[in-house]
Structure 1
Amino acid sequence: MKTETIGLEKEQKINHLLNSQPPGVVYLSSWLTENGFSTQLLNRYRNSNWIYSIGTGAWMRVGDKPTYQGALFALQGQADLNIHPGGKTALSLLGKAHYLELSTKHITLFGGSEERLPTWFLKYNWGVKVNYFGSSFLPPQIGLQALEQGTFSLLVSNSTRALMECLYLTPKKQELVECYEIMEGLNNLRPKQVQELLEICTSIKVKRLFLYMAEKAGHDWFKYIDLKKIDLGKGKRSLVKDGVYISKYRITVPKTLENYE
């Protein structure tokens, strides 16, 4: 009788914990341990077909299928990490990059300069190639927004931050002309939000390119940006050889970008 009571209590305990998180999310071993579940107990639950492992340190509820979004939800909510969909991936999730390939085979994630993706995340086959960039050119908490992903919300870069993340990757990992095409579609950005991100951004390259592209695109919101409050650094920046020098922003850009109509 006593054994049955203990079994029932454990069953209720795991049920309660599993139900405290939305369906489809990953459960981190570290978070489960903090909530009173030892490795031994987790292995018992696995043997009882309650949960299954997707790698060392990560579990799923039986019946749920892992997605990279559900894994990121765990990293954000259970591990308190700032890792999030950024760049073109964020723009695509926000519906701001309609011309981009929707069934993309790559996802772009950004996190803090000291943050790393756990091994189980890197090893698991999500069906897409994961490109992760740890950086500190923008603060971790500013410029993110909650986006519904089925049963849960995920923090992703908003349009302004996402484009800045794209520009951060130029010119080696992201084409400048494609960044400009994205900028052209961002005609309804909030000037206050743009101003804030430009003022706290530490990448001179990103700030100069962002302002150059915004002005070139002729967006109405650009006239509300106070350039005097934005530190654009000193000296010239050459992004390509044999390009066009833009004296106002002291950058050399590809001819294809400057001549883009």
Structure 2
Amino acid sequence: MGSKINQLLQQWPAGKVATLRWLNSRGVDRRLADKYVQSGWLQRLGHGAYMRAGETVDWVGAVHALQTQLGLAVHPGGISAIELRGYTHYLALGAREVVLFGSPGTKLPAWFEAHPWSRPVTLVTTGVFAGSEKTTSTLPIDGVGLEVATLERAAFEMMYLVPKRQSYEEAFQVMESLTSLRPKVVQQLLEGCTSVKTKRLFMHAAERANHPWLKRLEMSAVDFGSGRRTIHAGGRLDKKYDLVVADPGQG
């Protein structure tokens, strides 16, 4: 048993969760994993998840396990991804929740949902970005490589959450800082996203911020739908996008 556990611990990157699926792939079944727990080599994080004894793991190491071991198509998105990429340092973030995005029907394992991470982690499932090509990239966080939404995708996800889970005022502040978005990726998201509200809000905020990359977009290829969208009753009407939204500072 000694050589197997030594080999296992050598393969186990620091700060990461190991799921039973990962252990099984290395010849360790649940019974043997439980023996390792009893022997003080491992600690059980929850049903089907383990960590090295004496180590501390946080949501980053757990999300890495979801992505790489369980094959769940989830990623930090919205303002969480923008924060992780270093673009919201001027906002009062504190221990705000981490928002994961996943496709419809995605469910997080019970061990993940039950564990008290350093920050609350919430899953948002939506299919409105299904038409878009891969818009995540690997970002090193605390020594762990996570798939995180690109700035372009995160900005759309942020607008998707307005107004129920994300304030427009904060979203606009963040949008003002996104001066170097890639027009090609923005174009792809505008054409692929099926949420009319999200696309209109994104363009409304980007035009208010007067970003230089706007000039390189081909708006004739984008379907903005029809009918008014009211984000804030009593707000100002943007006639171009038929969108009623509060001015930043009001909501």
With normalisation by structure 2, the TM-score equals 0.93
Q: Does 1:20 align with 2:11?
A: yes
Identical-pair percentage: 38
The corresponding residue for 2:192 is 200
The corresponding residue for 1:59 is 50
Deviation of 1:252 after TM superposition, in Å, equals 1.1
Match of 2:226 among 220, 234, 245: 234
For structure 2, the 5+ residue unaligned runs are none
1:164-209 deviations in Å (ceiling 9; x for gaps): 1111111111111111111100001111111111111111111111
Amino acid at match of 2:5: I
Structure 1 CA distance for aligned equivalents of residues 244 and 192 of structure 2: 23
Structure 1 CA distance for aligned equivalents of residues 82 and 71 of structure 2: 23
- SS of the aligned residue for 1:146 comes to strand
The corresponding residue for 2:120 is 129
1:73-99 deviations in Å (ceiling 9; x for gaps): 000000111111111211111111112
For the 8 Å contact 1:105–1:127, the answer to whether it is kept is: no
- SS of the aligned residue for 1:174 comes to coil
Paired positions, count: 250
Structure 2 CA distance for aligned equivalents of residues 130 and 27 of structure 1: 19
- SS of the aligned residue for 1:257 comes to coil
Match of 1:186 among 178, 181, 184: 178
The corresponding residue for 2:22 is 31
Match of 1:111 among 102, 118, 132: 102
Structure 2 CA distance for aligned equivalents of residues 60 and 141 of structure 1: 34
Q: Does 1:246 align with 2:238?
A: yes
The corresponding residue for 1:168 is 160
Deviation of 1:243 after TM superposition, in Å, equals 1.6
Structure 2 CA distance for aligned equivalents of residues 168 and 48 of structure 1: 48
1:129-154 deviations in Å (ceiling 9; x for gaps): 22221111113862211111233211
- SS of the aligned residue for 1:138 comes to coil
Structure 1 CA distance for aligned equivalents of residues 118 and 144 of structure 2: 20
Query: Which has more radius of gyration?
Result: 1
Deviation of 1:102 after TM superposition, in Å, equals 4.2
Structure 2 CA distance for aligned equivalents of residues 125 and 141 of structure 1: 34
CA 1:21–1:226 in structure 2 vs 1: closer, same or farther (change >3 Å)? farther
CA 1:177–1:103 in structure 2 vs 1: closer, same or farther (change >3 Å)? closer
With normalisation by structure 1, the TM-score equals 0.89
Tell which deviates more after alignment, 127-136 or 45-54.
127-136
For structure 1, the 5+ residue unaligned runs are 1-6
The corresponding residue for 1:72 is 63
Structure 2 CA distance for aligned equivalents of residues 137 and 162 of structure 1: 13
Structure 2 CA distance for aligned equivalents of residues 205 and 21 of structure 1: 44
Quote the RMSD (CA, aligned, Å): 1.9
For the 8 Å contact 1:92–1:100, the answer to whether it is kept is: no
- SS of the aligned residue for 1:252 comes to strand
Deviation of 1:32 after TM superposition, in Å, equals 1.7
Deviation of 1:259 after TM superposition, in Å, equals 9.0
Amino acid at match of 1:22: P
